[in-house]
């Protein structure tokens, strides 16, 4: 099959409208809205065929104003079973891979017979198949050719002081030297909702009863360079125990495309604790929507309800601020200018940030104005929020008193789903993951340093999202009349924007539920802030606004029904200030 294909043919296939449409269906493919008209070109800046059927490619997406590159390894097959290991030949996996396959009939010149041959070209993203990982990590015939492919496989062992992690790296090395001694299993993580493809690889040693050793395989799709491998290496250097260790990387033309990470044992992400407890609290307290809940206007009674229902949330909130502080300390590496603290002039820093936030607001306003006048978000009460937020931003800038601001490497995208947790003997262990930087920033901007308040603001926005999504769920289950096709977001909008002299029992109950949730949010915020941190709350507000604006921009483009959440987040900031 290898002789059938060349770069020109694959280039033609990748630049077809059918393939562009397939690209737009990929979770990792960015800028879907601006590229949805397919008015972009796809070119191959790198193309190699490995092991007959693995196409290693870097694709470049180009318009007149835009260019972006992606790492896109593909596997070609005639029958899908021929690229699967025995463990992968389950009906669910075959269906998943078939649904994600791009297929096209292509005409080939078969040179030895001097005639044209029509074949079906079936392509699936290579990372989904164990075949790809076995070849790239453990096939010596291929890894020895990496230098000729402008590739580099690096496995780290010398950085580890503990025997457990040294053993895990040595296990990888042994599997690459003696692959016949091992069996392998692959499982996709994240339910397909991750920006980069993420898999769990289990390595079983044959003829032993030992438990398999697990690794996380991460494919960095955006081919502009990832912060994560370098940052994880710094955390290992600083003996930080609360992040995955990095065991190795594969670089293509000098840029990391694949990371081999520690598979940290966990029960779930931190947001699960908050989400489960607060939803149970709301459903337990407000069982019957038409009951009288006026007694809950007493703050002391509401505080007791929160204390009773949110035991674990309060417990983790008392410790997570300290854990974030430890993370920020571990991101500083002596004698490395990229991982150091700096002091910057506050006036120029905030002027630049103010200009940046105002440009985001203007972009959102422009987008709204182009849409239908009858669109929900074109309500004057919503558009006025964007005007008010500009005033608030300027207020923060003009009233900031400190002459200097401390900046350093931070996580940049620290929300609750980025923190895994485990529990042992009633004690929590936390693991910070996904050190790829703020997804809204370019690679040059991600390389910058920020105040630690950026991470705290991002984390606190998670509380706001949980609060409003809890309200929306409650409205959908208990308040809306499904026979009238009522929309939960409309009820929430009315609660904030359409005050009326006549308030129904449903609306009164909803107001009390909101008051309880506001107190819940404030109590947890008070627990989260580590008292030993010297924080500028103006900066927290700055970065909270930035986060909410990015959320609004995203929801407008991809989930217009959800814009009520960042809109209300911005409204609350305005009202508090």
As given in the structure block, the two tokens for residue 178 are: 């003696």
Residue 467 has pLDDT above 80, yes or no: yes
C-alpha 476: how far from its chain's center?
A: 27
Mean pLDDT of 318-345: 93
Rounded to an integer, what distance in angstroms lies between the CA atom of residue 193 and that of residue 26? Answer: 10
Residue 250 has pLDDT above 60, yes or no: yes
Helix or strand run (H / E) with residue 166: helix 163-177
Mean pLDDT of 109-138: 83
DSSP notation for 248-266: EEEEETTEEEEEEEE----
Provide the pLDDT for residue 112. 57
Q: Poorest-confidence range of 61-70, 105-114, 533-542?
A: 105-114
156: nearest Cα among 144, 145, 168 = 168
Rg (CA), the chain: 26
Provide the pLDDT for residue 560. 73
Q: Poorest-confidence range of 245-254, 465-474, 494-503?
A: 494-503
Q: Is 568 left (phi over 0), alpha (psi -120 to 50) or beta?
A: alpha
Rounded to an integer, what distance in angstroms lies between the CA atom of residue 260 and that of residue 221? Answer: 15
pLDDT grade, residue 345 (50/70/90)?
A: very high
DSSP notation for 471-520: HHHHIIIII--GGGT--HHHHHHHHHH---SS--HHHHHHHHHHHHHHHH
Helix (H/G/I), strand (E/B), else coil: 183: strand
Provide the pLDDT for residue 510. 87
Residue 559 has pLDDT above 80, yes or no: no
Mean pLDDT of 236-260: 94
Chain-wide mean pLDDT for the chain?
88
Provide the pLDDT for residue 3. 59
> pLDDT tens digit string along 14-62?
999 999 999 999 989 987 777 888 999 999 999 999 988 999 999 999 9
Quote the percentage of the chain above a pLDDT of 90: 58
pLDDT grade, residue 157 (50/70/90)?
A: confident
> pLDDT tens digit string along 434-451?
999 988 888 888 889 999
- Spatial neighbors of 425 by CB under 8 A, at least 6 apart, are none
pLDDT grade, residue 535 (50/70/90)?
A: confident
As given in the structure block, the two tokens for residue 260 are: 């081999």
Mean pLDDT of 537-554: 90
Domains recognised in the chain with CATH numbers: 2-126 (no CATH), 130-262 (no CATH), 270-576 (3.90.1200.10)
Name the residue with tokens 């920033």: 441
CA dist 299 → 290, 303, 463, 497, 506 (Å): 21, 6, 20, 24, 21
Name the residue with tokens 């493919």: 29
121: nearest Cα among 39, 201, 18 = 18
Name the residue with tokens 């506001």: 518
Provide the pLDDT for residue 56. 96
Residue 501 has pLDDT above 60, yes or no: no
Residue 186 has pLDDT above 70, yes or no: yes
Quote the percentage of the chain above a pLDDT of 70: 94
Provide the pLDDT for residue 128. 94
- Residue 367, burial from CB neighbour count under 10 angstroms (0-12, 13-18, 19+): middle
456: nearest Cα among 519, 342, 398, 538 = 538
- What predicted TM-score, i.e. pTM, was given to this entire model? 0.89
């Amino acid at each position: 099959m290898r002789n059938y294909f060349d770069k020109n043919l694959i280039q033609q296939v990748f630049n077809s409208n059918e393939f562009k449409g397939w690209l737009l269906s990929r979770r990792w493919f960015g800028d879907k809205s601006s590229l949805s008209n397919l008015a972009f070109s796809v070119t191959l800046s790198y193309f190699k065929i490995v092991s007959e059927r693995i196409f290693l490619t870097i694709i470049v997406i180009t318009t007149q104003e835009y260019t972006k590159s992606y790492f896109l390894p593909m596997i070609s097959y005639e029958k899908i079973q021929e690229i699967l290991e025995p463990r992968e030949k389950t009906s669910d996996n075959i269906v998943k891979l078939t649904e994600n396959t791009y297929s096209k009939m292509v005409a080939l010149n078969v040179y030895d017979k001097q005639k044209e041959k029509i074949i079906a070209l079936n392509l699936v993203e290579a990372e989904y198949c164990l075949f790809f990982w076995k070849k790239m990590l453990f096939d010596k015939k291929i890894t020895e050719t990496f230098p000729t492919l402008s590739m580099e496989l690096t496995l780290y062992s010398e950085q580890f002081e503990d025997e457990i992690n040294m053993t895990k790296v040595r296990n990888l090395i042994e599997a690459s030297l003696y692959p016949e001694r091992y069996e392998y299993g692959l499982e996709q993580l994240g339910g397909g909702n991750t920006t980069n493809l993420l898999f769990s690889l289990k390595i079983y040693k044959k003829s032993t009863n030992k438990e398999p050793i697990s690794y996380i395989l991460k494919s960095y799709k955006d081919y502009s360079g990832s912060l994560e491998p370098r940052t994880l290496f710094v955390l290992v250097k600083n003996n930080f125990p609360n992040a995955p260790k990095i065991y190795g990387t594969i670089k293509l033309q000098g840029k990391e495309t694949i990371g081999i990470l520690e598979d940290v044992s966990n029960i779930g992400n931190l947001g699960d604790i908050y989400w489960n407890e607060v939803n149970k609290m709301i459903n337990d307290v407000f069982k019957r929507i038409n009951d009288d809940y006026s007694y809950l206007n007493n703050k002391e009674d509401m505080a007791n309800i929160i204390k009773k229902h949110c035991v674990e949330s309060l417990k983790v909130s008392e410790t997570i601020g300290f854990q974030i502080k430890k993370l920020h300390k571990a991101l500083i590496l002596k004698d490395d200018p990229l991982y150091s603290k700096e002091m910057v002039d506050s006036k120029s820093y905030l002027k630049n940030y103010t200009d940046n936030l105002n440009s985001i607001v203007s972009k959102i306003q422009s987008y709204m104005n182009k849409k239908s006048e009858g669109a929900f978000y074109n309500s004057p009460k919503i558009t006025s929020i964007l005007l008010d937020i500009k005033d608030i931003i300027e207020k923060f800038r003009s009233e900031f008193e400190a002459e200097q601001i401390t900046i350093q490497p931070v996580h940049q995208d620290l929300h609750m789903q980025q923190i895994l947790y485990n529990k042992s003997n009633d004690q929590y262990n936390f693991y910070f993951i996904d050190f790829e930087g703020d997804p809204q920033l370019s690679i040059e901007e991600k390389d910058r340093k920020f105040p630690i308040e950026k991470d705290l603001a991002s984390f606190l926005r998670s509380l706001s999202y949980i609060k409003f999504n809890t309200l929306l769920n409650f409205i959908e289950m208990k308040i809306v009349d499904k026979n009238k096709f009522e929309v939960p977001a409309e009820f929430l909008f009315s609660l904030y924007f359409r005050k009326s002299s006549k308030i129904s029992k449903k609306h009164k109950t909803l107001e009390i539920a909101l008051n309880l949730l506001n107190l819940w949010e404030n109590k947890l915020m008070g627990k989260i802030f580590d008292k030993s941190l010297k924080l500028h709350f103006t900066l927290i507000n700055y970065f909270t606004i930035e986060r909410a604006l990015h959320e609004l921009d995203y929801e407008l483009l991809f989930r217009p029904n959800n814009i009520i959440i960042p809109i209300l987040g911005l409204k609350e900031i305005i009202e508090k200030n």
